[in-house]
Amino acid sequence: MKTRRAFIKTSLAAGAALSFHGLERLFAEQTRSETSATQPSGPSAAQTLLVAVRDGERAVMLNRALAELGGIQAFVKPGQRVLIKPNIGWDVPPERGANTHPELVARLVELCFEAGAKSVSVFDNTVDEWRRAYESSGIEAAAKQRGATMVNGKDESLYRNVTVPGGVTLKETQVHRLYLDSDVVINVPVLKTHGGTRITACLKNLMGVVWDRRFFHRTDLHQCIADFLTVRKPDLNILDAYHPMVRNGPRGRSPEDCVQMRTLLVSTDPVAVDAAGAKLLNFEPDQVAHIPAAAKLGVGIADLDQLDVRRIRMS
């Protein structure tokens, strides 16, 4: 038993070391301290902007990242209906890292209402029983306390059949009406490893707006994930990489499966965010097949060298 415990501890330490190597790789160039940074200059007209912030608390990092993109008001206008799509797939508490952290969702709901949103809805087509997942994740309580509406993701009557315009494998699917009809869609996944796709981040999180997610698994999972982005791209993508799960994903077994990175990645381009997220977990983007597949469809950029990457280290 001691030998097994020692092996597990050694494996966890090795996983953490690899992940921190990925974190340092992402922030290796053009890093600037928050204390000495110039004022946010707004998005680059020439390039897609990816903001990578680290070493702050969740709400503070969100505020700082959004400032680089022109603030939440650049995305949410008065009177608009907003959908926030976190990962709420699992009936586990926040410290397990399987779901988006409720603090991040709570702050985002507040910001949307501050910008004048008419309504803010939150949902996921969960893997575990939805009522328990909503409660255990802490997201239901956090969202409701800030005025958001939690919507059932397990009600098939709320889904509509749509054609996938750029689908290579996925030609049609049933999509939740909130994803189709909301004025603004904000995609807020958690970063973690996944046994079937290596990582789960922005692109895979959108499986939670599809009714028959089993079709993806039965057919070509990576291509279906990429194809779905041609239905509609989220207006804003916020990747919770504060304490990503580095093993036993996507559900995890204990908080020890996570390492603390205190990082947030934000962009209008979900492919770019996933490419950076892959690097955080020490993968190259092309090792996560749905990332290059999505880039090939022209729905995003997987090459970080083609992006305006603003790396901000909070003091």
Residues in contact with 224: Cβ distance below 8 Å, sequence separation at least 6, in sequence order: 169, 170, 215, 216
Check residue 21 and give its pLDDT. 63
Nearest residue to 194 (alpha-carbon basis) of 307, 77, 295, 281: 281
Amino acid at 31: T
Number of structural domains in the chain: 1
Which phi and psi angles does 164 have, rounded to 5°? Answer: -95, 105
The confidence band for 26, taking pLDDT boundaries of 50, 70 and 90, is: confident
Distances (CA, A) of 24 to 19, 163, 276, 287: 9, 41, 12, 19
What residue has token string 């921190």? 20
For residue 216, the SS3 value is: helix
Q: What pLDDT sits at residue 33?
A: 39
Boundaries of domain holding 93: 2-313
- 36/51 Cα distance (integer angstroms): 17
Find where tokens 């390492």 sit. 259
Which residues neighbour 272 within 8 Å (Cβ) at sequence distance 6 or greater?
48, 50, 300, 301, 302, 304, 307
Q: In this structure, what token pair is assigned to residue 58? A: 């969740």
Give residue for tokens 């509609």.
232
Asked if 160 and 180 touch (Cβ cutoff 8 Å), the reply is yes
pLDDT class of 229 with cuts at 50, 70, 90? very high
Say what the pLDDT of residue 36 is. Answer: 36
pLDDT tens for each residue of 240-292? 999 999 999 999 999 999 999 999 999 999 999 999 999 999 999 999 999 99
Kindly write down the DSSP assignment for every residue of 255-283, as one continuous string: GGGB----EEEEES-HHHHHHHHHHHTT-
State the average pLDDT over residues 136-160.
98
pLDDT reported for residue 24: 72
Q: How high is the pLDDT of residue 84?
A: 99
Quick one: average pLDDT of 105-124? Answer: 98
Spatial contact of 35 and 56, defined as CB atoms under 8 Å apart: no
Round to whole Å and give the CA distance between 220 and 174.
Answer: 17
92-115 burial, b for 16+ CB within 10 Å, e for fewer? bebebbbbbbbbbbbbbbbbbbeb
d(CA 112, CA 83): 10
C-alpha distance from residue 131 to each of 154, 188, 205, 268 (Å): 10, 19, 19, 30
Is residue 5 over pLDDT 50? no
Question: What is the domain-level CATH number for residue 45?
Answer: 3.40.50.11440
Over the stretch 44-80, which tens digit does the pLDDT of each residue have?
445 799 999 999 999 999 999 999 999 999 999 999 9
The pairing of strands 184-188 and 159-163 is: unpaired
pLDDT average, residue stretch 26-43: 49
Tell me what pLDDT residue 17 has: 52
Q: What is the pLDDT confidence band of residue 27, given thresholds at 50, 70 and 90?
A: confident
State mean pLDDT over 128-140.
98
pLDDT in tens, 190-222: 999 998 899 999 999 999 999 999 999 999 999
Q: 74: which residues sit within 8 A by CB, 6+ positions away? A: 43
> Which pair of tokens denotes residue 208?
């939670």
Tens of pLDDT, residues 156-170: 999 999 999 999 999
What is the average per-residue pLDDT within 218-239? 97
Task: Tally the residues of the chain.
Answer: 315
The pTM score is 0.90
pLDDT at 25: 72
